[in-house]
Structure 1
Amino acid sequence: MVVFGGWANAARSRYIAYEQTRPHAVKRTTPYAYWSNSSQYKAYRYKNLATDPGRPPQDPARFPGADKFGPGANNRHVTELGRMLSGRGAGAHYGSGPGPRWSEADRRATQAFQQAQGWTGADADGIPGTTTWDYLVNGKGKSVRPPSDGGRPGHEDDGRAAFPGAGHFRPGQVNGHVLRLGRQLVRRGFGRHYAIGPGTSWGEADRRNVAEFQRAQGWSGADADGYPGEHTWRLLFG
């Protein structure tokens, strides 16, 4: 079961979900109705719910204003921006995932997205404006091209990098290691739980695919919980 926390985009194809999943409850942007097997999910709404008359509904497509971003900003719009940027390929700029306090990671991620559109100068200064926000909310333009994983231009992952640490593969984590793991799972034939392909944000689809790979090794219980450790990493990339 997940709790619906509001739409994440104007097209109503993604929403904020609150979900109890190992190792703790998480809040994350989720494709509607879910990552996989969407047709099997049915939405329920408590009959006595009412809209708060003192709080008008928020339009996610409406730009919240330039004053909500930049040095010193600390609000939910910064978090929302970071999540959208992560979904468009700029998640590698975040070391520990997007948050409400504006940081250099937010500026670099925004600038990377702007540059992916071919914008330069003041149009790619790393501070979102109405056009940047419109492109992100409505899925317009080009996504950020992920950096090469293998360290050699033009080559795919060769599997020789050391295990980056278990902390990179937990709910709420957004980083390039998650993308690298997902790509290798797909190459090894364990990507069936990805609805739209692997990305930089750790999700339930990643965990399920890892668990399938672990079970394929004959493991069970805690050894096949879907969270990669050094042994899983070595076998997957070996």
Structure 2
Amino acid sequence: MTAPVFEDIDPAGGCDCPGCAHERPVPRPLPGRGHPMARGVVVVAAASAALGAVPPAAALTPDHSPHRQALPGDGEPDTPQGTKAPLHGRPGKPAGAPADPLPATNRTTIINRAKTWVAAQVPYSMYAFWSDGYRQDCSGYVSMAWGLPNNEWTGSLGQFGVKITKEELQPGDILLYHNPDNPEKGSHVVIFGGWTDHTHTYYTVYEQTPPHARRQTTPYPYWNNTDKYVPYRYKGLTKAATAAAPAPGARAVAAYPGAAYFGPGARNKYVTLLGEMLTARGARSFYTESPGPVWGEADRRATRAFQLAQGWTGADADGIPDRRTWELLTTGRGKDVEATGPASHGVPGYPGRHYFRPGRSNDHVTRLGAQLVKKGFGRFYGLGPGPHWGEADRRAVEAFQRAQGWRGGAADGYPGPETWRRLFA
């Protein structure tokens, strides 16, 4: 008996389910901002000699050169990280234990600091130091986001935090894997940016990885070594919105500006900040583009979803951020938004075919690619699955469709409801 042929057909008018935010291309830093990688090697070597720091050659010793592999199949070589070191350009020796007291910070500040490297596309390097003094590798990135007084490595970051459970994870916490038996294999650390689905199987990750710092949707706990990553929470975390200053160039945590800054016709920096905080708390699906300064329906719906998540009703959940809403967002308190949007075309989780088209960029593409890899159709990816729809995605989908026995228009490489149902069954 031949397998029945299913053809994925969109209804007229397309799908009107809420979509995920698109990753808008970010310009590279202007000349003179930060350290180019080549120059960073020379400057860091000179600084190391002056400060008595470990020279680059010593950083490759087995005891102090843990590194990770990039995403499965991305072709990137193993990337070592540097040793513990003082901030570039600042005198002092690496601390042997956490400073007492630890620098205080809060969740919003941590995420804002992490975003500065993503926006600047800081290149990965175990030798170079960025203009803020932190080493441009995974552990240097977390040291920067947490505001630590030195550059740490995966073998020492754990002493600055306390172990928590998956259920306790909130934006600003980290997922740490340090391999003490063989630091050369797999060690890595990333920043947790918030869950992207209500099943808590995917989350927004901030990480420093080749070729540069990035933010994307990642399966929990990570792409590889999935039983090795341990959640940690920074010991110096506070609830005060103004507990610590952001990194140079980062947006400061702002006090509530007033309701007049939000609503139809509003255009200001507070609308952008609101959208960024909402997406970090699980409301990303309400935005079809990255949050911006012009108030729109996406801002209202995302705000209302956050307010409803707190159990508020009526006028308390009108979609306009009041002082209570703003306080919960800036301090990282309250409940996150659960992505419980309606199923599309009767298939749970299917967002609509228009999310998978040339030029589109969203979390659904990343999730699709990750599932294709899991199902054994990852050979088409030269790099790991990402948010930008490309020919590798189309060919992987086509191969999956053909494996179902479909031909012709039913195997065009674009996922429809039936493709999605079978892929995620």
Shorter chain as normaliser: what TM range?
A: 0.5 to 0.7
Give the gaps of 5 or more residues in structure 2: 1-27, 35-104, 123-133, 145-249, 401-425
Aligned to 2:120, the other structure's residue is in SS state strand
Aligned match of 2:139 in 31, 36, 39? 39
Q: How many Å apart are 1:37 and its aligned residue?
A: 5.8
The residue type paired with residue 74 of structure 1 is R
Q: How many Å apart are 1:58 and its aligned residue?
A: 8.0
Aligned match of 1:131 in 298, 310, 324? 324
Alignment of 1:157-176 (within 5 A): 161=353, 164-169=356-361
Aligned to 1:14, the other structure's residue is in SS state helix
Kindly indicate whether residue 343 of structure 2 is the aligned counterpart of residue 180 of structure 1: no
Aligned match of 1:232 in 393, 416, 420? 393
The residue type paired with residue 76 of structure 1 is K
2: CA distance, partners of 1:151 / 1:234: 24
2: CA distance, partners of 1:226 / 1:86: 16
1: CA distance, partners of 2:120 / 2:320: 31
Aligned match of 1:152 in 346, 365, 378? 346
Residue of structure 1 equivalent to 2:270 = 77
Q: How many Å apart are 1:130 and its aligned residue?
A: 1.1
- Check whether the contact 1:84–1:136 (CA below 8 A) recurs between aligned residues: yes
1: CA distance, partners of 2:381 / 2:369: 17
2: CA distance, partners of 1:138 / 1:123: 19
- Check whether the contact 2:360–2:389 (CA below 8 A) recurs between aligned residues: no
Aligned to 1:168, the other structure's residue is in SS state coil
1: CA distance, partners of 2:335 / 2:307: 9
Residue of structure 1 equivalent to 2:315 = 122
2: CA distance, partners of 1:71 / 1:160: 28
Which one has the bigger helix percentage? 1
Residue of structure 2 equivalent to 1:13 = 110
1: CA distance, partners of 2:278 / 2:368: 23
1: CA distance, partners of 2:292 / 2:352: 32
Q: What's the TM-score once normalised by structure 1's chain length?
A: 0.57
1: CA distance, partners of 2:373 / 2:381: 16
Kindly indicate whether residue 210 of structure 2 is the aligned counterpart of residue 113 of structure 1: no
Question: RMSD of aligned C-alpha atoms?
Answer: 4.0
2: CA distance, partners of 1:152 / 1:141: 32
Q: How many Å apart are 1:81 and its aligned residue?
A: 0.5
Aligned length: 173
2: CA distance, partners of 1:225 / 1:156: 18
Aligned match of 2:297 in 104, 107, 114? 104
Identity over aligned pairs, percent = 36
The residue type paired with residue 389 of structure 2 is P
Aligned to 1:167, the other structure's residue is in SS state coil
Q: What's the TM-score once normalised by structure 2's chain length?
A: 0.34
Residue of structure 2 equivalent to 1:51 = none
Q: 1:165 to 1:65 in 2, by over 3 A?
A: same
- Check whether the contact 2:364–2:387 (CA below 8 A) recurs between aligned residues: no
Q: 1:161 to 1:63 in 2, by over 3 A?
A: same
- Check whether the contact 1:10–1:61 (CA below 8 A) recurs between aligned residues: no
Cα deviations across residues 12-32 of structure 1 (Å, max 9, x unaligned)? 3212413148xxxxxxxxxxx
1: CA distance, partners of 2:300 / 2:332: 19
The higher relative CO (CA closer than 8 Å, separation ≥ 6) is in 2
- Check whether the contact 2:366–2:387 (CA below 8 A) recurs between aligned residues: no
- Where in structure 1 do 4 or more consecutive aligned residues deviate above 6 Å? 1-4
The residue type paired with residue 93 of structure 1 is F
